[in-house]
Amino acid sequence: MENNKQEFENLASMIKQGFDAVDARFEQVDKRFKQVDKKFDQIDQRFDNIDKRFLKMETSLAFLEEGQEEIKSRLNNVAYRHELQNLDKRVIKIEKKLGLETT
């Protein structure tokens, strides 16, 4: 009987050592997961910063596009220099034919 008790104690000791080893390995795994979580948090923060920068760039780009459209609109209503020169020549010819004084 004493022999069986010793065997049970040896078996219990081996099982405890096995569980202790597994527990230690799980602690290492937990530490590594915490490190990975920390890295992911840092990456999330970087992506948040990038998102903010993109939003700022999109806002700036929209502002520039509005300004460009305004410039295009103004230029569409402006006569080109050569058109004005041609019109000026035509007015001078008409004034001469009518005998009006040109300025």
Q: Could you tell me the residue ranges of all domains in the chain?
A: 2-98
* Model confidence pLDDT, tens digit, residues 30-43: 999 999 999 999 99
Mean pLDDT over 58-83 rounds to 90
> Hey, what are 57's tokens?
């760039």
pLDDT value at 63 more than 80: yes
Question: How far, in Å, are 69, 73, 76, 78, 98 from residue 64 at the CA level?
Answer: 9, 14, 18, 21, 50
pLDDT value at 78 more than 90: no
CA distance 88 to 80: 12
> Hey, what are 52's tokens?
């903010």
Q: pLDDT grade, residue 86 (50/70/90)? A: very high
